Amino acid sequence: MYCKNCGQEIDDNAAVCIHCGAATDNRGGLNKNSIDNPSHAAGVVSCCFPIVGLILYFLWKDEKPNSASLVCKWTIGGVIAWVLLYVIFFALGLLGAVAGL
């Protein structure tokens, strides 16, 4: 493989060019798709605890954009579900209070 910065030949598994020090897209022999493998387990936790989803999103947004996007979607879904539950229980409470009068 050749360095994109200086054009010198470098090892195929090199993370940086030995000639100019520029970072390669290789990241030690792993491509970005194998590093950024979204997990639905993190999404489920983010759905139940939205603050965890926000923290994971900000930690992963630059290094793991696919995982960050998935966690963000689960977090938004969790917030919507919590709001709907609160509205339903509030409405049921009002109906119970009106029926009890």
**pLDDT tens, residue by residue, 13-49:** 888 888 898 888 776 444 544 478 888 898 899 989 9
pLDDT score at 101: 64
Residues 9 and 22 in one domain: yes
Helix, strand, coil shares, percent, the chain, to 5: 60, 5, 35
CB 36 within 8 A of CB 65: yes
Range of the domain at 30: 1-35
Q: Please indicate whether residue 15 or residue 85 has the higher confidence score (pLDDT).
A: 85
Segment 38-65 shows an average pLDDT of 90
pLDDT score at 27: 60
The secondary structure of residue 9, as a DSSP letter, is: B
User: 44, 42, 2: which is closest to 24 by C-alpha?
Assistant: 2
Task: Please tell me the total count of domains within the chain.
Answer: 2
Rg from Cα positions in the chain: 24
Residues 93 and 53 in one domain: yes
Residues 28 and 43 in one domain: no
Residues 56 and 90 in one domain: yes
